[in-house]
Amino acid sequence: MDTATYFLYILVSSMVMNLALALYGIFYKPHLTKKIISLTILGDTANAFALIIGYRLWPGEITPSRPPILVGWTHLNKTMLQQYVSTAVDPLPQALVLTAVVIGLAVTLFLVFLALQIYRHYGTLDVREIRRLRG
């Protein structure tokens, strides 16, 4: 196994660990604010996985992979397109992640508002207390 693959394994393992920690925070922490914080971490980790899927290793020894940005599109030629295709990372996961970040912000704002209403109604944000007070 070469060194780059080894480092990529470390990266993916850390992300899996983050995913597990965020799931633990969502399911086992009783406080709603902590659940919201864990949910943001979970979403960001899922986005990171999408970007890792779209990443490509360097095509050459000293040729880095590049962001998927097509420069000089007013006078494109075949050489530029070939260079773009052979060096750019996958743009599709990046487009999806860009959407997911904004949607995650909207969902978080909604959940924060919901938690605020729950606090005004029940006087606590601890789900054990809320379950006891229900009905």
Partner 1 sequence: MIGPMEIMIGITALAALFSTAATYLAVTEKDLVKAVIYSAIQSTIYAFIYYMLMAPDIVLVYIPVAVGLYPAVILVLIRKTERWEKD
**Could you say which residues in the range 2-21 bind partner 1, by CB under 8 A?**
2-4, 7-8, 10-11, 14-15, 17-18, 21
State the nearest-atom distance from the C-beta of 133 to partner 1, in Å: 15
**Could you say which residues in the range 94-123 bind partner 1, by CB under 8 A?**
94, 97-98, 101-102, 104-105, 108-109, 112, 115-116, 119
CB atoms within 10 A of CB 61: 5
For residues 39 and 19, the answer to whether their CB atoms sit within 8 Å is no
d(CA 85, CA 93): 16
Told to check if 57 binds partner 1 by CB under 8 A, we report yes
Output 14-21 pairs: Cβ under 8 A, ≥24 positions apart: 15/45, 15/48, 15/49, 15/52, 18/45, 19/45, 19/46, 19/49
State the nearest-atom distance from the C-beta of 76 to partner 1, in Å: 20
For residues 89 and 56, the answer to whether their CB atoms sit within 8 Å is yes
Look-up: residue for tokens 């993916």?
Answer: 12
| Binding site residues, partner 1, CB under 8 A | 2-4, 7-8, 10-11, 14-15, 17-18, 21-22, 24-25, 29-31, 33-34, 36-38, 40-41, 44, 47-48, 51-52, 54-55, 57-58, 61-62, 64-69, 89, 94, 97-98, 101-102, 104-105, 108-109, 112, 115-116, 119, 124-126
